[in-house]
Amino acid sequence: MEHFNPSAMQCNISISILILLAVFSAFSSTNAETHYHQFVMRTPWADGPAYVTQCPIQPGASYTYRFTIENQDGTLWWHAHSQWLRATVYGAFIILPKLGVPYPFPEPKQDIPVLLGEWWNRDIVSVLRQAQFTGAAPNVSDAYTINGQPGDLYKCSSQGTTKFHVKSGETVLLRIINAALNQELFFTVANHMLTVVGNDAAYNKPFTTRVLMLGPGQTTNVLLTANQPSGHYYMTASPYQTAQNAPFDNTTSTAILEYESASCTSKNTAVSKPLMPIVPFYNDTATVTAYTSQIRNLRSKKGKGFPTRIDENLFFTVGLGLVNCIPGPRCQGPNNTRFAASMNNVSFVLPRRTSILQAYYQNIPGIYTTDFPPVPPVKFDYTGNVSRALWQPRFATKLYRLKFGSNVQIVLQDTAIVSTEDHPIHLHGYHFYVMAQGFGNFNPRRDTARFNFVDPPLRNTINVPVGGWSVIRFVADNPGVWLMHCHIDSHLVWGLSMAFLVENGDGELQSIEPPPPDLPPC
Ligand code: C2O
């Protein structure tokens, strides 16, 4: 298993960075491109998703991603955005505060990236094909990983268990990233409280917790103080699974937090067995809700920062679906169906001839349409029983057009077509404010009263709770084509995705610049 090193950088007002992505021979049978997950970049050509903002980089070819980071600091990451290559092609991307600007908390003694991943004992492309072509649920993974290692609770891997060293008394910053393909994960450290200070590259009002939950795509920064007796403590990543009756990888991966004094004495004495934390039950939604409701923006003031007037009031269902099919190898879903997924009943299809952004920029017709529905075509009880016949998604490449500078609100509503389940929804190109989350069907009259108009957290991946909803707001001030999708990759390949077309504003600085000369050809 590979270990990915973080790239740390100083963010000095705004810096332009240059990254050369070479496609290494290990991926010679497939092609890749890199998505800078959560970067609010003004260069849509550097965003990365295959067939959305660029065509894939062919084996042996290269593409240089050039973009500027504006007003962001915290933990971000990058990953391949083609097929399921991000299973192993990912890494941390850390933006430190501007020179001379302190953290909004005491300077930590160490900065420790903790990347949670997911591992199959098989070629990942074959795992993808099984889900994509048979129409059945995907095979579950064989292990979760912490910095590339599953840890010593799995047979055969005890030698490579990831260890983090701390000195007694010091406070360290853990930058935790859920890079798993298909699984939301709990994270705990035995005997240590975690002080949450940031999420998705935005600071929050600090609070302490024993348990974190991160959906794929999310990052969380926590402070940990080594205030326990010198020794060894397990750190765990374990599944949070909300879909009922769906198979999932119910294993726990571990890393070891080792006090420096404990590692010295262990040369002479046998290493004590690390202490195990209490790991939440896999479907412990109460713990997740209690945790996420504590996340509050550090910076925003009452009524400031987030849009208060709304120009676009959108309502998107998010959920799985089934399409009827003729029994055979490509029809392995339940009762002569294949799995599909959709937003507002549209199952997103990626174009194959060119990217959507190129088609927009060069006026190439026939690649996409801009009639993505602002509300579901049929109103129904979203989280109760509903007949499947009512809800067979349509396959199409539909975009929703936003005027530059418009204030957007989106209600993301889970559905119960196949299963109610938590969906981590990620929006490219933007950070958004999370105004509220809740369970059941969103009811504008009742639930608007619950909006946080004081300190809504700023994120760019938010979980839509199982059988519930999340409301987000942002200002569409970044022109380009920006994908919004479930960051569970099995749902993404089944179509749980859509894209916004944010049109140019007036003036050069608000327009999409021409594509770079080395943009990969289609
Ligand atoms: Cu991190 Cu479109 O993804």
CA of 50 to the centre of ligand 1 (A): 11
Positive or negative: CA dihedral 140, 142, 143, 147: negative
Q: Are 187 and 181 in contact (CB under 8 A)?
A: no
How far is 459 from 425, CA to CA, in rounded Å?
Answer: 10
What pLDDT does 7 receive? 36
CA of 439 to the centre of ligand 1 (A): 25
Inside any domain, residue 305: no
What pLDDT does 31 receive? 61
Q: What are phi and psi of 493, to 5 degrees?
A: -70, -20
From the CA of 483, give the closest atom in ligand 1. Answer: 2
Inside any domain, residue 356: yes
Displacement of CA 283 from its chain's centroid (Å): 20
Whether 163 and 237 share a structural domain? yes
Q: What CATH number corresponds to the domain at position 82?
A: 2.60.40.420
ipTM, 2 decimals? 0.99
Whether 94 and 109 share a structural domain? no
CA of 48 to the centre of ligand 1 (A): 9
What single-letter DSSP state applies at residue 27?
Answer: G
CA of 264 to the centre of ligand 1 (A): 42
- Residue 17 lies in domain: 1-99
From the CA of 485, give the closest atom in ligand 1. Answer: 2
The burial of 145, by beta-carbon neighbours within 10 Å (0-12 exposed, 13-18 middle, 19 or more buried), is given as: buried
CA of 266 to the centre of ligand 1 (A): 42
Displacement of CA 122 from its chain's centroid (Å): 23
Inside any domain, residue 446: yes
CA of 430 to the centre of ligand 1 (A): 12
284: amino acid identity, one letter: D
Whether 345 and 370 share a structural domain? yes
CA of 387 to the centre of ligand 1 (A): 32
Tell me the two tokens of residue 274: 């690390």
What pLDDT does 379 receive? 85
Whether 223 and 268 share a structural domain? yes
From the CA of 428, give the closest atom in ligand 1. Answer: 2
Q: Three-state DSSP class for 126? A: helix
Q: How many CB atoms neighbour CB 358 within 10 A?
A: 22
Inside any domain, residue 222: yes
**Where does a domain end: 77, 99, 121?**
99
From the CA of 217, give the closest atom in ligand 1. Answer: 1
81: amino acid identity, one letter: H
Any residues with Cβ below 6 Å from ligand 1, and which? Answer: 35, 37, 49, 79, 81, 217, 426, 428, 483, 485, 487
CA of 35 to the centre of ligand 1 (A): 6
Q: Are 294 and 188 in contact (CB under 8 A)?
A: no
From the CA of 37, give the closest atom in ligand 1. Answer: 1
Whether 207 and 119 share a structural domain? yes
Q: How many domains does the chain have?
A: 3
Q: Are 470 and 437 in contact (CB under 8 A)?
A: yes
CA of 37 to the centre of ligand 1 (A): 5
Inside any domain, residue 516: no
- Ligand 1, atom 1, lies closest to the CA of 37
Whether 89 and 129 share a structural domain? no
CA of 68 to the centre of ligand 1 (A): 18
Mean pLDDT by 10 residues, the chain (522 residues): 34 31 34 72 90 95 90 91 93 93 95 97 92 92 96 85 97 98 98 97 96 98 97 97 93 96 58 89 98 92 83 97 94 93 96 96 96 93 81 93 96 93 96 97 96 94 97 95 97 97 84 93 90
Inside any domain, residue 373: yes
Residue the block writes with tokens 């098989």: 122
From the CA of 461, give the closest atom in ligand 1. Answer: 1
- Ligand 1, atom 3, lies closest to the CA of 37
Inside any domain, residue 238: yes
**Where does a domain end: 54, 71, 99?**
99
Whether 230 and 285 share a structural domain? yes
How far is 216 from 211, CA to CA, in rounded Å?
Answer: 16
Whether 17 and 73 share a structural domain? yes
From the CA of 48, give the closest atom in ligand 1. Answer: 2
CA of 214 to the centre of ligand 1 (A): 15
**Where does a domain end: 54, 73, 99?**
99
What pLDDT does 37 receive? 77
Q: Are 428 and 49 in contact (CB under 8 A)?
A: yes
For 273-300, the three-class secondary structure string (H helix, E strand, C coil) is CCECCCCCCCCCHHHHHHHHCCCCECCC
From the CA of 79, give the closest atom in ligand 1. Answer: 1
Q: Three-state DSSP class for 129? A: helix
> Is beta strand 458-459 parallel, antiparallel or unpaired with respect to 432-439?
antiparallel
CA distance from start to end of the chain: 32
Whether 283 and 316 share a structural domain? no
Q: How many CB atoms neighbour CB 61 within 10 A?
A: 14
Whether 89 and 117 share a structural domain? no
What pLDDT does 418 receive? 87
From the CA of 38, give the closest atom in ligand 1. Answer: 1
Whether 226 and 116 share a structural domain? yes
What pLDDT does 157 receive? 76
Whether 461 and 382 share a structural domain? yes
> Is beta strand 399-402 parallel, antiparallel or unpaired with respect to 497-502?
parallel
Inside any domain, residue 357: yes
